[in-house]
Amino acid sequence: MKPLDPTAYSALAAALKTAPINTLFAQAVVDGKVNGKVYTNNPADPRTFYIVHPYGMSLLWGDSSHEDFHRQLKDHVANVQGVRQGEEWLQAFPDSWDAVLDNLFRDEQQQPVAHVERDTRLNFKFNADKYRQQHKQLPADAPVQIVTATRNDYEQMTGTVIPVHFWADADEFVSQSVGYSVYYDNTLASLAFAAFVNDEVLEIAIETCTPFRGKGLAYHSCAALIDYCLERGLEPIWACRGNNTGSRRLAQQLGFDISRELPYYKLLV
């Protein structure tokens, strides 16, 4: 696994856009939107790519036949050199990688290795008619305000899926992304924002602060962001882990249907 010359990123970016799966986080890396990393089998003749987003997501992409790359990947997954500082969520395309990874992620006794946990990655397709039919209004007496996300929201939002993991700073967030904050009793409670956006699509990220969960606030912040998309002709994009029942349920309430399931691997440290 060797670093890919950034001059080769444009060709990789074009290829990623043809994928039938959600590769937006990887596109953000190769487009220079975030400070991620791209590795390849051979910088002089790149055929296989490993794209790492700073949030801890990675995409294995391209030719699955390079055995030298397989060995290097196995060491990376096992963190032999201690390069990975945190957990990483890996998906791969095309599906020829599935059998390769199943073999790589087994020990000499052909048992699954302890440092890899298996899950699924769900891709969703937005159904605008379903969204409108299921739309829920905010109760008139709810102590809630829904406002466009600000620099302060970028800096103050707490949780896991928050803007600081996807945008370099508050200025970049307010100029290149968009989000809607829900304030409950004048306190920032939930934030839906664009983790990735271009002229065609917007990938939704959502977080609710722990004290305010269970109040349905995430629905309303996401609905505001979806309305933003519909007004501008953008396709809302949603993806999550298969075992994230809360995210899956919320997506379906917002008019999304599962369109694809992929193997998803949690690489432990």
Residue 85 has pLDDT above 90, yes or no: no
If residue 25 lies in a helix (H) or strand (E), which one and from where to where?
Answer: helix 24-30
**Per the structure block, which two tokens stand in for 112?**
């699954």
- Please give the pLDDT value at position 83: 82
Distant-in-sequence, close-in-space partners of 80: CB < 8 Å, separation ≥ 6: none
Q: Return the minimum-mean-pLDDT range out of 71-85, 153-167, 176-190, 203-217.
A: 71-85
- Please give the pLDDT value at position 50: 97
Interval 103-107 mean pLDDT: 95
Q: Give the DSSP per-residue string, 26-59.
A: HHHHHTTSS--EEEES-TTS--EEEEEETTTEEE
- Please give the pLDDT value at position 140: 86
The domains located in the chain, with CATH, are 2-114 (3.40.630), 125-261 (3.40.630.30)
Residue 160 has pLDDT above 90, yes or no: yes
Q: pLDDT for 137-158, tens place per residue?
A: 988 889 999 999 999 999 999 9
Interval 167-190 mean pLDDT: 96
Distant-in-sequence, close-in-space partners of 58: CB < 8 Å, separation ≥ 6: 50, 51, 52, 88, 89, 90, 91
Distant-in-sequence, close-in-space partners of 176: CB < 8 Å, separation ≥ 6: 33, 167, 197
Q: Give the model's confidence band at 33: pLDDT under 50 very low, under 70 low, under 90 confident, else very high.
A: confident
Q: Nearest Cα to 241, choosing from 91, 119, 116? A: 119
Q: Give the model's confidence band at 84: pLDDT under 50 very low, under 70 low, under 90 confident, else very high.
A: confident
* Average pLDDT across the chain, whole number: 95
User: Contact 127/256 with Cβ under 8 angstroms?
Assistant: yes
Q: Give the DSSP per-residue string, 172-221.
A: HHHHH--EEEEEETTEEEEEEEEEEE-SSEEEEEEEE-GGGTTSSHHHHH
Quote the CA–CA distance of 31 and 157 in Å, as a whole number: 26
The pLDDT > 90 percentage for the chain reads 91
Quote the CA–CA distance of 264 and 206 in Å, as a whole number: 20
Write down the pTM of the prediction: 0.92
- Please give the pLDDT value at position 52: 96
The label of the residue with tokens 């999304």 reads 256
Distance between start and end Cα atoms, the chain: 19
**Per the structure block, which two tokens stand in for 240?**
């999550």
